[in-house]
Structures are given as structure tokens and as C-alpha cells.
A and B are shown apart, each in its own frame.
Chain A
Amino acid sequence: KNEVEQSPQNLTAQEGEFITINCSYSVGISALHWLQQHPGGGIVSLFMLSSGKKKHGRLIATINIQEKHSSLHITASHPRDSAVYICAVKMSGGGADGLTFGKGTHLIIQP
């Protein structure tokens, strides 16, 4: 079983729809990251969370530490939001110092 699980793997939606991507993890963590990877490969850090909720523009990220679950929401989605969204965790308690990644959610927003 992977330590970080994302769902869905693939998501196609129409422009304007509200998008939710989910991430569950099975280990103790000190932080959770949401990353965006566009075709061509560049990775951009969207959020780093250790509790609660963060908002940046049309993006909202939430985390529930007790349930070991995080969600990334996109409001008023737009074709330029099409990308792979990756959840990653920094393990606590002696785990690796680098991030452990989910396999990503491939999002396509159609005009």
C-alpha cells in the first residue's frame, strides 16, 4: 500500500466547475504539500499545510490531521488549471527528510 494515496487519478470537467482532489496518507507527518505540474514538467509548489486551511486565489487546501486526509479545491475552474496535481508529505518521527509523493491527479478542464 502506498503511503500517500490520491483520488481521482484522472478528472475531466467543464470550465467553471468546482473541483476537488483528495489525498490520504498512512504515516505521521509534519507537513503536507500540494504541487502542480504542467505538461513540459515544471513543478510549482501551491501550498504547504500542517493544519487547517489555506486559500490562494481560486485554490483552497484543507487538512484534517486526525483523519490523515487533505483536499485541494479549485473554484471556477479554467482550462489553464489543466495539469497534474501532486500531494506530498514530509514524514515525522525519523522518516526521510525529503518528500513522499502521491501518484498525482491528472486534471483536464474543457472549455
Chain B
Amino acid sequence: GAGVSQSPSNKVTEKGKDVELRCDPISGHTALYWYRQSLGQGLEFLIYFQGNSAPDKSGLPSDRFSAERTGGSVSTLTIQRTQQEDSAVYLCASSHGETNQPQHFGDGTRLSIL
């Protein structure tokens, strides 16, 4: 497709379960970002990939959060032992080249932890 694709669009799961969120960036975009949008918190940065490597993991809120990117394309964000405070919309964005380029956002995954 032409844009950034995220799946699933909605995920409801029980507290304590693991979840995996997927991002398919725009073809040819080497930079990939994960962000989180929580009610009352606004948007916050989680992790940045350049190719397959993640030079900046500074935004990951705890060691329950991890992400990987394979083949310089698809990325997965994994949250282990989910907690209710993990409920949020998880957004992925991609861009050409290095970090100072316009970012193209996916529609997000709305995660609800019961």
C-alpha cells in the first residue's frame, strides 16, 4: 500500500497477557518510529529504528516493552505481562533517511487492557 500500515487496528486483552503490534512502513523508508498516545498524556516517543538497528530506545517505559525490525521493513512492538496503564493508541511512523524528515503516520493500534 501507499501508506504506513498497522495491525491490528484494535486489540482487547486481559491484564498479564503478552501482545504484539505490527507496523509495515512505506516502502523505501529507512527510519521507523513507535509512539504512544494515552488519554491525558498526549503523544510520547517510544523507540526509533534506522534500518534494522535501534539506536534510540530511550522512550520505552519499562523492560516489558521491546521492539524489533527485520529486513529493514516490518517492525513489531511487543508488550509482555500487560498492565492496565498500557492501554493507549500505539502509533507507528516512517520517514526517508535520517531523523530530520517529515514523518508519515499509520492509523495506530488501539490497545485496551481489561
Taking Cβ atoms with an 8 Å cutoff, the residues of A that contact B are 30-31, 33, 35, 41-45, 48, 50, 86, 88, 90, 96-104
Q: Does B102 contact A (CB under 8 A)?
A: yes
For A45, list chain B residues within 8 Å (CB): 102-105
Contact partner, B103, options A30, A96, A99, A102, Cβ 8 Å: A99
Least CB distance from B59 to A in Å reads 6
- Asked whether B107 is an interface residue with its Cβ less than 8 Å from the other chain, the reply is yes
A100 to B93 Cα, complex, angstroms: 14
B102-A98 in contact (CB<8A): no
Q: How far is the CB of B9 from chain A (nearest CB, A)?
A: 10
**Judging by beta carbons under 8 Å apart, are A42 and B42 in contact?**
no
Question: Contacts A30-B100, A96-B56, A98-B56; is A86 near B105 (CB within 8 Å)?
Answer: no
Q: A45-B102, A99-B35 are in contact. List 8 more A-B contacts (CB 8 A).
A: A30-B99, A30-B100, A45-B103, A48-B102, A86-B43, A97-B48, A98-B59, A104-B42
